[in-house]
Amino acid sequence: MTTPLQGKVALVAGATRGAGRQIAIQLGAAGATVYATGRSSRAGRSEMDRPETIEETAELVTVAGGTGIGVRVDHLVADQVRDLVARIDAEQGRLDVLVNDIWGADPLITWEKPVWEQPLDAGFRTLRLAVDTHIITSHFALPLLIRRPGGLVVEVGDGTKEYNDVTYRLSVFYDLAKVSVNRLGFTQAHELAPHGCTAVALTPGWLRSEAMLEHFGVTEATWRDGAAKDPHFVMSETPAFVGRAVAALAADPDRARWNGKSVDSGGLAQVYGFTDLDGTRPHWARYYDEVVAAGKPADDTGYR
């Protein structure tokens, strides 16, 4: 196994589960030291009320070959984020990769209701979790990251800019949150470029997170049975796929070619050659355009 990120330090903010957990693991598999943060720990759960903990993520990073350091942080609390970055600076003296994957708003969303029927408190809490957390984290972390040229910031969202610009995302608050994350990748790219650093917005395809598997009543071993509930689930991907996308970006000496871009895991797999855990390269964005949007029956042939 190669370790192109040996000696590199990453902060994955929002790494308790799903994409964030596997991004941390795959960075660790490439040799990085990874600070994995989130609100759910063995000391207590976040409002998501799920069993996954940040300590488990850190342990999985270490098992994968990296050094995992789990830190319980609420990224809406500026003092906690400031102290986290001060700790990274004191312990490592550098930060090479920042991944803003903080979310945790699923229980708050009211789907497919117009803005006048949306609960405002839950809606604004959604925006704070999705947007404010990312800005607060970048505010404190980027001064450490720009000390060395070559730093990478990854804003993880849902949907590419191309997709989100023309698609209603089923709730005014969810829609605004996901468009905002894409824009944060663009704006930070502009601000980081003079320092020789790169920012991108990255989306997975249909992600088989822990919560998604539960929603479909399947496990990772039986995930294809989920097609009985939605036939297009045949094109879903594991969180490791987007994790490998981040690891590939971080290891690319020419990563600046992506500065300010909105990219997806399937598209990056075509460039870098990484695969999902089953050895395939699911390309959800192309499948959506050519099959789902075209009203064709589900068939993943040629899209993996």
Maximum Cα–Cα distance for the chain, whole Å?
55
226/192 Cα distance (integer angstroms):
42
Whether 38 contacts 48, CB under 8 Å: no
Q: Which of 163, 174, 288, 303 is catalytic?
A: 174
The set of residues, in sequence order, having a beta carbon less than 8 Å from that of 14 and lying 6+ positions away, is 20, 37, 38, 75, 99, 100, 101, 102, 103, 104, 133, 156
**Burial profile 36-55: b = 16 or more Cβ within 10 angstroms, e = fewer:** bbbbbbeeeebebebebbbb
Residue 174 annotated to the active site: yes
Q: In the structure encoding, which two tokens stand for residue 283, read together?
A: 């390309």
Please list the active-site residues. Answer: 174
